[in-house]
Structure 1
């Protein structure tokens, strides 16, 4: 099953007009319009009610919908869960309309998109319900994406992240017998690959791979941006950011064919990797060449190593949250749906499909090939982009982080960082 890593590009445009969706006067977390009654046994009665749930294509693994539907409808006889699968392409306007009209109750939202929809009033504040739906055990680095101004607007569902994918034949030919455990070991492996006949590049990594840089920055304890008082400031001029860049620059220096002014999409790095003369790439576990070009059993995986063997480098955690529409007339039913959807049994099915679940206690259930194992190891120290509704404007082209990386790789770091920080601050502090 293929999934895509969620990013917030275009979210600013997606959520325009959502402020009106709370005009019915219902306050955040208010269940007065939930449409539920209480049976004699004290259990909420949703008999005859249908909860509309939007999921995105490729997210829920096989069996998840049936499991959740059966458990909920058995627990609440007479209720009905109606799942609708949406496509990522063009989803913004559809979500905007649905939230405004109240035509959806629960929906999957990309984790970097959540703050944007929350800020405009589209999502229900579930802060008071967090513990009841299992939030006490949510991984903090996942739950963070669903929090805005101290309030919880969604529940983390799953994440995934990038790993190193390598050509086993080339690494064996270079005399490398085991995946590297530290960055120094990685550089040594790249040196061996570089000296091996038939290897065009130890790694293909163009200069604008900002998700890789983000992970390295996370490892150093730095941020792309942070809030000082009521203003956002860019974080690329910090000592942590410069340390992360030195590591990024070292890795990128092994990619002679990776243009410093390109990202991983043009050309698709999996296609470059599939030619068979590149030692490795850093990408999603399913971001692989066509099997006609390179058989899957010829590809190995490991987390990007850290400075020491006990801790991989940080990663960007891309994934999805489950949110309740502020305009839903079935908010009590929606909250009970979250309890079922996110319980250990059903969240365990996400882990069983190779995704990183929303609580560390379920990580042992993550199964699949070595790509999933590598992703699980790295996810512990993963992070997300700054939680602000304006973040989408930073990712919109021209992306100042990409431009910064190109400029820093080819010129003066301090000047490139200052220019990017100024642009990031400008976009994040712009009035909506």
Structure 2
């Protein structure tokens, strides 16, 4: 603040000086507040995020205060922050949580930013990831890291039953699993995952199912019922365990491989390398076997978003864009094994491993689960329905009729 006129009266001059002094203190205080961002991160940020945030501070002078929050507490903490309108400036949001946080007005609409900056244009990211940030034509985040599911398999054991490569179709998967299960007691061929909410829905999509149509569930339609009948064949004939074996990855996939094929995400790579005691030549990953229509997988991961009630919007957006840059997504991958969502980043040498590139190929055929706020509860209800089918031999059609009605009621609440 400055003055162009000299005031004649001393009292007025003194008053003006006092006001100017107050104004400068306020400006400094405001400036100091704007030089610090708060970033909420699900998990431990020390290794994964802090080094990148420190680079942002060096470049911009804006400090980043990172708060690591366990994922188990993240949802409740954010909803509380939204209700009180006090929270972080920037946050990471799991892709399945996006509908809840958009609906609760926790996240800022950044559509103008996305449309005005070609470096973060939607087509730069995998379609499945980009879809998790867009609601009713508006953008509420930038894709940051991505994961999808592929088939893990024991090359040596599959070869012993006549398969020199991973099964490429549903028929081959069932045939190979059945043959592998004949090796002896407590030996299986494939794990039908009864603890993963997306598992049955993923197979249903491969069979041509539309999970929701105009927000109406389609879980009792033929395409989904047939896909669950297919999966149930594995448990009925002993090609898959009926429930969790409680074995470690070293016990189930290593050694003589009681469960030599399963579907999971990239986090299992390091577990197998560290705990299974296998040679590289003994195991591999492959794109999912194709069903009647596709080999569609499920897209997960995390997005970066700006808290709707931040008082530091300019720097918050600057930080989100910085973290989304190719070089920083690659740094984050090297620090955390969380795969980048920018397609261009996958040309980097650090992602050249043939197993990692399988995930890259699968991402071309991968979509998130339906982006509605009730989806997490729907997934948990599905697991209970599948348990009735796998353990109690419940009729698939009747079970899915009940599940479909239950879902309708949940959506219409």
TM bucket, shorter chain: 0.7 to 0.9
Match in the other structure for 1:181: 168
Deviation at residue 268 of structure 1 after TM alignment:
5.7
The two structures have a TM-score, normalised by structure 2, of: 0.77
Q: CA offsets, 1:80-128, max 9 Å, x none?
A: 2233322223223332344435331001111111111121121111122
Match in the other structure for 1:26: none
Q: CA offsets, 1:194-241, max 9 Å, x none?
A: 3445771112325565422222223344333332xxxx3211123432
The two structures have a TM-score, normalised by structure 1, of: 0.74
Match in the other structure for 2:331: 349
Match in the other structure for 1:404: 385
Match in the other structure for 1:320: 302
Q: Relative to 1, partners in 2 of residues 1:323 and 1:91: Cα closer, same or farther, differing over 3 Å?
A: same
Match in the other structure for 2:51: 66
Q: Relative to 1, partners in 2 of residues 1:380 and 1:121: Cα closer, same or farther, differing over 3 Å?
A: same
Q: Does 1:51 align with 2:37?
A: yes
Structure 1 counterpart of 2:265, from 274, 284, 293: 284
8 A Cα contact 2:126 2:363, kept in partner: no
Structure 1 CA distance, aligned partners of 2:127 and 2:248?
A: 31
Q: Relative to 1, partners in 2 of residues 1:290 and 1:253: Cα closer, same or farther, differing over 3 Å?
A: farther
Q: CA offsets, 1:113-147, max 9 Å, x none?
A: 11111211211111222224513323332122223
Q: Structure 1: 5+ residue runs without aligned partners?
A: 1-36, 38-44
Q: CA offsets, 1:140-189, max 9 Å, x none?
A: 32122223333322222122122222234433443432223333333342
Structure 1 counterpart of 2:142, from 113, 130, 155: 155
8 A Cα contact 1:68 1:340, kept in partner: no
Q: Does 1:129 align with 2:83?
A: no
Aligned length: 371
Instruction: Report the secondary structure of 1:187's partner residue.
Output: helix
Larger relative helix fraction:
2
Instruction: Report the secondary structure of 1:113's partner residue.
Output: helix
8 A Cα contact 2:180 2:239, kept in partner: no
Q: Does 1:360 align with 2:347?
A: no
Q: Does 1:143 align with 2:130?
A: yes
Q: Does 1:258 align with 2:241?
A: yes
Match in the other structure for 2:3: none
Structure 1 CA distance, aligned partners of 2:36 and 2:134?
A: 28
Q: Relative to 1, partners in 2 of residues 1:296 and 1:251: Cα closer, same or farther, differing over 3 Å?
A: farther
8 A Cα contact 1:408 1:417, kept in partner: no
Greater mean deviation of Cα atoms: 123-132 or 366-375: 366-375
Q: Structure 2: 5+ residue runs without aligned partners?
A: 1-26
Instruction: Report the secondary structure of 2:365's partner residue.
Output: coil
Match in the other structure for 2:20: none
Deviation at residue 50 of structure 1 after TM alignment:
0.8
Structure 1 CA distance, aligned partners of 2:33 and 2:311?
A: 15
Query: Which structure has the larger Rg over C-alpha atoms?
Result: 2
Structure 2 counterpart of 1:200, from 169, 184, 187: 187
Structure 2 CA distance, aligned partners of 1:169 and 1:327?
A: 55
